[in-house]
Amino acid sequence: MSLIEDLQWRYATKKMNGQIVPQEKVDYILEAARLAPTSSGLQPFEILVITNKEILEKILPLAHGQRQVVDASHVLVFAAWDNYTEERINEAFARNNEERGLPSSATDDYRNMLLKMYLAKPAEENFTHAAKQVYIGFTAAIIAAAEQKVDATPMEGFNPAALDELLNLKEKGLRSVLLLPIGYREAEKDWLVNMKKIRVSKDRFITELK
């Protein structure tokens, strides 16, 4: 199936059946998120992969009782850097230059430009920028799941501060941004599964300037 067919196949699954997603498919979905592009290649986020039932039961009320959190096979928590720091930026560039066999100074001009830009901004603004990068990895994961015929439910609706506390994210310098339960649909109990997918018309969505 092509990407377009995968996008037509997927939907925000409302009811999952508890079936376990094979590890190689989970790995594939995570790999898509890892390979996704990000601003300056900094990859300012991490993913927590949660299968621990006790933790998931505690997440359930923080996600407004959305039962996919406990009916899914795995719940992916996408958490962004709480700030861009000198240490994080330097580490990313050091890694890149080392792996490319370049001197550590090869990217100094660009690195210094980024340091100057990010370190001058408030943490909240930098976090917002990092959170936007999360959406890129998140989308890659959603598409990877669809390609693998794994269902997924993209979720913005949860209490991020409470989740950060539950998962001790603050001490890791992270803040939760998005949840992605993955698993398999329980079609006969899912009110959305047979609904027509609705999108804005091409005419309204696209403007050509020729």
Question: Which residues of this protein are in contact with its own copies, per CB under 8 A?
Answer: 2-4, 7-8, 10, 12, 28, 30-37, 39, 41, 43, 46-52, 55, 92, 95-96, 99-100, 128, 131-133, 135-136, 138-140, 142-144, 147, 154, 156, 167, 195-200, 202, 204-210
In terms of CB distance, is 21 or 50 closer to its own copies? 50
In terms of CB distance, is 120 or 207 closer to its own copies? 207
In terms of CB distance, is 180 or 184 closer to its own copies? 180
Q: Are 10 and 197 in contact (CB under 8 A)?
A: no
**Hey, is 122 helix, strand or coil?**
coil
Shortest distance, position 105 Cβ to its own copies, whole Å: 17
In terms of CB distance, is 83 or 148 closer to its own copies? 148
- The conformational region for residue 2 under phi > 0 = left, psi -120 to 50 = alpha, else beta, is beta
Distance of CA 186 to the CA centre of its chain: 24
Shortest distance, position 201 Cβ to its own copies, whole Å: 9
Round to whole Å and give the CA distance between 115 and 161.
27
Shortest distance, position 37 Cβ to its own copies, whole Å: 6
What is the per-residue burial (b if ≥16 Cβ within 10 Å, else e) of 172-197?
eebbbbbbbbbbbbbeeebeeeeeee
Shortest distance, position 56 Cβ to its own copies, whole Å: 9
